[in-house]
Structure 1
Amino acid sequence: MPRTSPFDGLRFAFGTLTVFPVRVTRWDREAARGGMLCAPLAGLAVGAAAAGLGLVLLVLGAGAPLAAVATVAVPAVLTRGLHLDGLADTADGLGSGKPAEDALRIMKQSDIGPFGVITLVLVLAGQAAALAQSYGTSWTRGACAAVLSATVARLALTLAARAGVPAARPEGLGAAVAGVVPVRAAAAAGLLVALAAAAAGGAWGPYGAVRAVLAVVLALAAAEALLRHCTRRLGGITGDVFGGLAETAATAVLVVVSLG
Structure 2
Amino acid sequence: MRLHLDAFWHALAFLTRFPVPKQLEAGAWPHSPPMYPLAGAVLGSVLALAAFLLQDHLPSMVLAMLLVTVWVYLTGGLHLDGLMDTADGFGSQRPRERVLEIMKDSRVGAMGVLAAVLLLGNKAVLLAHLQGSDLWLGIFTAVILGRTAMLFALYAFPYARAEGLAQTLRTRPRWYRLWPLLLAVPGLILLHWTLLFPLLAGGMLIAAAKNKLGGLTGDIYGALCELVEVTVLFGFLLT
Range of TM-score over shorter length: 0.7 to 0.9
CA spacing shift, 1:76–1:125, aligned 2, 3 Å: same
Q: Which has the higher contact order (CA 8 A, sep 6+)?
A: 2
Deviations 1:173-219 (A, max 9, x none): 2222236357x6799765x2453226xxxxxxxxxx5x524444532
Q: Any gaps of 5 or more consecutive residues in structure 2?
A: none
Give the deviation of 1:256 after TM superposition: 0.8
The amino acid that maps onto 1:17 is: L
Match of 1:254 in 2: 233
Identity of aligned residues (%): 32
The amino acid that maps onto 2:136 is: A
Aligned residue among 3, 8, 16 for 1:10: 8
Q: Counterpart of 2:138 in 1: which secondary structure?
A: helix
Aligned residue among 30, 37, 40 for 1:40: 37
TM-score, normalization: structure 2?
Answer: 0.88
Match of 2:98 in 1: 102
CA spacing shift, 1:219–1:185, aligned 2, 3 Å: farther
Aligned pairs for 1:45-64 within 5 A: 45-59=42-56, 61-64=57-60
Give the CA RMSD over aligned residues: 2.5
Q: Is the 8 A contact 1:36 1:181 kept in 2?
A: no
Q: Distance in 1 between matches of 2:67 and 2:11?
A: 21
The amino acid that maps onto 1:180 is: R
Q: Is the 8 A contact 2:206 2:216 kept in 1?
A: yes
Aligned residue among 140, 150, 164 for 1:147: 140
Aligned pairs for 1:55-204 within 5 A: 55-59=52-56, 61-135=57-131, 138=132, 140-163=133-156, 165-178=157-170, 180-181=172-173, 192-197=182-187
Deviations 1:37-92 (A, max 9, x none): 11011111111211222233324x21111111222222211111111011010011
CA spacing shift, 1:144–1:240, aligned 2, 3 Å: same
TM-score, normalization: structure 1?
Answer: 0.81
CA spacing shift, 1:58–1:194, aligned 2, 3 Å: closer
Q: Distance in 1 between matches of 2:169 and 2:139?
A: 26
Q: Is the 8 A contact 2:191 2:236 kept in 1?
A: yes
The amino acid that maps onto 2:107 is: D
The amino acid that maps onto 1:144 is: L
The amino acid that maps onto 1:94 is: F
Q: Distance in 2 between matches of 1:196 and 1:188?
A: 14
Q: Distance in 1 between matches of 2:77 and 2:68?
A: 11
Q: Distance in 2 between matches of 1:179 and 1:108?
A: 23
Q: Any gaps of 5 or more consecutive residues in structure 1?
A: 199-208
Q: Counterpart of 2:162 in 1: which secondary structure?
A: coil
Give the deviation of 1:240 after TM superposition: 1.0
